[in-house]
Chain A
C-alpha cells in the first residue's frame, strides 16, 4: 500500500510542481511587474506604482483595445457565418467521404498558421494569384493593392482561424439527436422555427466554444497583422510584443496583458455560466 501512494504522490507532485513554477508563478510575476516601474536597463524595479494602468487610460491604448476587440469580433462573426452551415452540412453527411472531409479540416487546424499566413501572401500580393487573374482577364490594368490593408488582415485572420470554429461546431452538431428535429417538424414547426427553437439552442455550446477559440487568438496572433497588414495596423498582440521587445517597457506591456487577460476571463466566465455541459472537453 505504501508503494501505491508513492506512485500517486510522485505523479501528482511532478505535474503540480511543473505547473506552479512554469504557469502560475510566471503569471503572478506578470501581475507584479504590471505594478512596478520601468528601469533603463529594461528590467523591472521598485517603486510600486499604478502608473502603468493609468497610462492605459490614454486614448491611443483605448483605441487599440477597442479596435482589437472590434476586429476580433468581426472575424469571429465571419467565421461563425461561414463555419456553421459548413459544419452542419458535414455533420449531417452520411457517406464514405465524411471522414476524409473531416480530415481535410483537421489538417489546416494543426498546420503552422505562419505557413498558412505566408501562403495567403502569395495569393494577395501585387503579382499574386488574384491580381494576375484579374489582369489576365482584363478586368483591371494595374495590380490592386490587396496586401497591407485592413481587408487582407481580416482575410488572413479568417483563413487561419476558421478551422477553430468549424471543429467544435462539428463535434457538437454530430451529437445532435436528429429525432428531435423530426419531432419538431412533425409537430408542425417550419424550418426556421425548428432551427431557432431546437437546433440553435442545442448547438449553442459548440457555437460558444468555436467563438472563444477564434476570438482569443484573433487579438493576439501578432504576426498576421505584422505580415499581412504591414506596419499600419496595430492590434493588442502587436502592442504587447512591442512593449516587451522594442520599446522595452515591460511594466506597461504587463499591464496591457493583465487587462487583456481579465477581459478574456470575464468572457470565459460568461461562457462557463451559460453552458454547463462538457463540450469544451470534446473539442480538442
Chain B
C-alpha cells in the first residue's frame, strides 16, 4: 500500500534532477540547429566544438589551473588536517572554525575580497590571481575531507610509532601518508572538480588574458543557446562524473 506513492515520489525527484541533463546530452547529438524534433544522430556539434581553438585554450588553462590549485590545496589542507588532529596548539579552535566559515562563506564575498586584495598588492588579474583564489577556496574542503578520514584511524598507531622512536616527520611520511593517501587523493579530486566548476569567484579574479572554461561557458550561454554549448556541457558533465565517481571510491570511510 505505502510503497507505490513512496517510490513514485522518489522517481519524480530523480526525474527532476536528471531529465534536464539527459535532454542536454541527447540534443548535443541532434542534427538540427534549433528544432527540438529529432533530426538524426550527428557528431556535428562536437566537430564544430573541436575546431574552436579559443575553447581549447580555455580548456587547457582550466586544466593547468585545476591541477596546480588542487595539488597545492591538497598539500596545505592535508598538513592542516593532520595538525588539527594530532596536536594541541594555540588557536586550534579558531583554525577549525575558520575552515568552516570559509566553506560556508558566500563565494561572492570571497571573490570581491580577493579582487580588492589583488588590486591592492598589484597582482595583475590572470593565472596567478586565479591560482591563489582557487587554492584558497579548495583548502577548507581538503581539510574537511582528510580530517573526517583521519579521525577514523586507530590513535594507538601513532603512539606505537612514537614509542618506537619515530619523529613527527617520520610518523608523517611512514605512517600517516601511507594510510591517508586515499583521502588526500579524494581531496585532490574534489578540489580539481571545484576548481573546474567555479564561476563566481573566478568571475571576479579572472583577467582577459587567461580565459578559463567555466567563464567561457558562461559567456557563451549569455550570448544565446547554441548546439555547441550542448556538446560542451555534455563533455564537461561527463568529465565531472568521472571525477566524482573516483573521489567517491577513494573517500569511502572504510578501515
The answer to whether A and B come from one shared complex is: yes
Interfacial residues, chain A to chain B (CB-CB below 8 A) = 3-4, 6-8, 11-12, 14-16, 18-19, 22-27, 29-30, 33, 43-44, 82, 85-86, 89-90, 101, 103-108, 110-116, 118-123, 125, 127-129, 132, 159, 162-163, 212-213, 216-217, 219-223, 226-227, 237, 240-241, 244-245, 250, 253-254, 257, 260-261, 264, 268, 280-282, 284
Q: Closest CB-CB distance, A25 to chain B, in whole Å?
A: 6
Which of A26, A33, A132, A221 is in CB contact (< 8 Å) with B114? A26
Contact B104 A268, beta carbon cutoff 8 Å: yes
CA distance in complex: A30, B16 (Å): 39
A43-B119, A118-B233, A220-B107 known; A110+B17 contact, CB < 8 A: no
CB closest chain-B residue, reference A11: B79
Q: Which among B16, B80, B113 is the interface contact of A29 at CB below 8 angstroms?
A: B113
Question: 11 additional contacts, CB 8 Å, given A30-B116, A104-B18, A114-B214?
Answer: A14-B76, A26-B116, A104-B14, A110-B190, A115-B236, A163-B17, A220-B200, A244-B204, A260-B109, A280-B100, A284-B103
Stretch at the interface among B39-47, B177-185, B237-245: B237-245
B218 contacts A223, C-beta separation under 8 Å: yes
Per DSSP, are chain B's interface residues mostly helix, strand or loop, or mixed? Answer: helix
B116 x A245 contact (CB < 8 A):
no
Within 8 A of A (CB), among B111-161: 112-117, 119-120, 132-133, 135-136, 139, 141, 144-145, 148
Q: How many chain B residues touch A (Cβ–Cβ < 8 Å)?
A: 84
Find out whether the CB atom of A119 lies under 8 angstroms from the CB atom of B233: yes
A-B contact pairs, 15 of them (CB 8 A): A8-B87, A22-B133, A44-B116, A110-B244, A112-B214, A114-B218, A115-B236, A116-B21, A119-B233, A129-B19, A162-B17, A217-B107, A223-B199, A226-B222, A254-B112
CA distance A129 to B93 in the complex (A): 51
Point out the residues of chain B lying under 8 angstroms from A103, CB to CB.
Answer: 245, 248
Q: Which of A12, A30, A223, A281 contacts B113 (CB 8 A)?
A: A30
Q: Which B1-55 residues have a C-beta within 8 angstroms of A?
A: 6, 9-10, 13-14, 16-21, 23-24, 27, 34-36
